[in-house]
Amino acid sequence: MSQVVKISALLMSSALLMIAGGMHGLILPVRGAEEGFSLLALGLIGTGWSIGFISGSISVPHLVRRVGHIRAYAVMAAIACMTILLNLIFVHDGAWIFLRIFSGFCFAGAAMVVESWLNEVSDNESRGTTFSIYVSVTLFASTAGQMIIAATGVAGYIPFVLAAIAYIGAVLPTAVTRTPQPAPLQAVSLDVGLLYKTSPIAVVAAFSVGMANGAFGTLAPVYGIERGFSTATVAYLMSLAIVAGAIAQVPLGRLSDRIDRRKVMMGVAIIGAVAGTLTVLFNPDENALLYVLFALYGLAAYSLYAIAVAHANDFADEGSFAKVASGMLLILGSGQMLGPIAASMTMQWLGPVAMFVIPVVFHGALAAAAYFRMQAREATPAEDRAPFQPMPSERLVTGETLNLDPRSEENGYEIDEDTGETPPADRPEPQQG
């Protein structure tokens, strides 16, 4: 409790940001579908978010070094607030695609500032607790945002204004906090050679999860609206998938601590592929089967990435966890950019339920890749594996999330306060996993 009190202002700011993000992310595809936007335009709205989020992860650290954390955070929240109000004023697919880039950029920047502050107030003993609390807050607040949309719907101006209030309200706790400003932010970087040497399956997993969940997160609400489901039902289904994945992370992660993580990845990917296939085959109405399939899909889809990061960490040399994980983050982002476009085209050709074809294909590809990697190399002994660590939804992971992750500290990871760069690790080349 003392740790919670110590970081309460930052957690409140993060909660308001996630509530706004949860609302914003559901308003656009649902309202866009009701306004008659094309499937391609709706997919590009999701692509715009990913472009902005990755751009923010790369660019915002440089802005923070120039103007400071509080000013940068205020700028990010203010622009995010203006963006959703402009969504309300200009109800047009082209405008929404363009504006979604800005909202993704600002959301990444604001999240990074809060996470760097949380890292600043956490010592070695409390880092794991702080990270766990932060993951829980992001889950609860994002779900709360979606539940607000379930209550208000997406018609009219009220949901847009409520989300704008949450965005701008997120500035207040950080503006009055007495916590010292933290060290410079970490800009994510992509070292394909290092990542592939560390774990080839991690590259496949990051891209496959990005494609599958980019498609699902953007267009599953559109699938629901096209099927005639209510906005409340769509919100319940999306929340159920996210919560199921968050809950499943811990038991599946602990299982991967005991057996080959690639076996767990393969099994979980098969579950996701089966859930998607059953949805395509049965195309259920608004009934219990629909909720079961969404829960089963979410259980698999939203737990895979954390297991893949843990597997890559097993093979990362000392000091390179954050660098390897940030490389995975950028590959994940590339999948999240392409997934919604591929799914929108598939839906246009084959109907709304064909949205699940993309997750089925890429979960199947990941399961096959994990199987072949198991034939190529022995598993890491259980005693040599780093303990699994639950993570936020991959749509919310930034470079600073990785810095806050206790595995960064355990691997000796540090940030150069002048450059924000990761010092090179003086260790032998990692083995392939």
Q: Is the predicted pLDDT of residue 188 greater than 70, yes or no?
A: no
| Predicted confidence (pLDDT) per residue in 267-298, tens digit | 999 999 999 999 999 999 999 999 999 999 99
The candidate with the shortest Cα–Cα distance to 39, out of 389, 371, 390, 342, is: 342
Average pLDDT over residues 23-32: 97
Task: Report the amino acid identity of residue 430.
Answer: P
Residue-by-residue DSSP string for 22-80: HHHHHHHHHHHHHTT--HHHHHHHHHHHHHHHHHHHHHHHHHHHHH-HHHHHHHHHHHH
| Predicted confidence (pLDDT) per residue in 203-259, tens digit | 899 999 999 999 999 999 999 999 999 999 999 999 999 999 999 999 999 999 999
Contacts of 310 by beta carbon, 8 Å cutoff, 6+ apart = 253, 256, 261, 385, 386, 388, 389
Q: Is the predicted pLDDT of residue 108 greater than 50, yes or no?
A: yes
Give the domains, in start order, of the chain with CATH numbers: 2-410 (1.20.1250.20)
- Cα distance between residue 416 and residue 186, in whole Å: 9
pLDDT at 41: 97
> Lowest-confidence range among 37-51, 193-207, 399-413?
399-413
The candidate with the shortest Cα–Cα distance to 27, out of 73, 82, 85, is: 85
Contacts of 238 by beta carbon, 8 Å cutoff, 6+ apart = 26, 146, 217, 220, 221, 294
pLDDT at 424: 40
Task: Report the amino acid identity of residue 233.
Answer: T
pLDDT at 183: 65
> Counting Cβ atoms within 10 Å, is residue 26 exposed (0-12), middle (13-18) or buried (19+)?
buried
- Cα distance between residue 16 and residue 14, in whole Å: 6
- Cα distance between residue 163 and residue 27, in whole Å: 10
pLDDT at 181: 65
pLDDT at 184: 64
Query: How high does pLDDT run on average in the chain?
Result: 87
Looking at per-residue confidence, does 386 or 46 come out higher? 46
pLDDT at 312: 87
pLDDT at 430: 39
> Lowest-confidence range among 72-81, 184-193, 231-240, 311-320?
184-193
Contacts of 267 by beta carbon, 8 Å cutoff, 6+ apart = none
Q: Distance between terminal CA atoms of the chain? A: 39
Q: Is the predicted pLDDT of residue 400 greater than 90, yes or no?
A: no
Show the CA angle centred on residue 394, arms to residues 414 and 118, nearest 5°: 40
> Lowest-confidence range among 112-121, 143-152, 189-198, 370-379?
189-198
Helices (H), 227-260: 231-258
pLDDT at 429: 40
Cβ atoms within 10 Å of 363's Cβ, excluding its own: 28
pLDDT at 127: 76
pLDDT at 383: 79
pLDDT at 404: 81
**Whether the Cβ atoms of residue 377 and residue 433 lie closer than 8 Å to each other:** yes
Structure tokens at 280: 């395509």
Looking at per-residue confidence, does 145 or 386 come out higher? 145
| Predicted confidence (pLDDT) per residue in 325-355, tens digit | 878 888 999 999 999 999 999 999 999 999 9
Structure tokens at 134: 């932060």
Average pLDDT over residues 49-68: 88
Looking at per-residue confidence, does 6 or 224 come out higher? 224
Looking at per-residue confidence, does 379 or 345 come out higher? 345
Please tell me what DSSP assigns to residue 135: H
**Whether the Cβ atoms of residue 22 and residue 190 lie closer than 8 Å to each other:** no
Name the helix (H) or strand (E) containing 311: helix 304-315
- Cα distance between residue 59 and residue 98, in whole Å: 18
pLDDT at 428: 37
**Whether the Cβ atoms of residue 395 and residue 217 lie closer than 8 Å to each other:** yes
Cβ atoms within 10 Å of 296's Cβ, excluding its own: 20
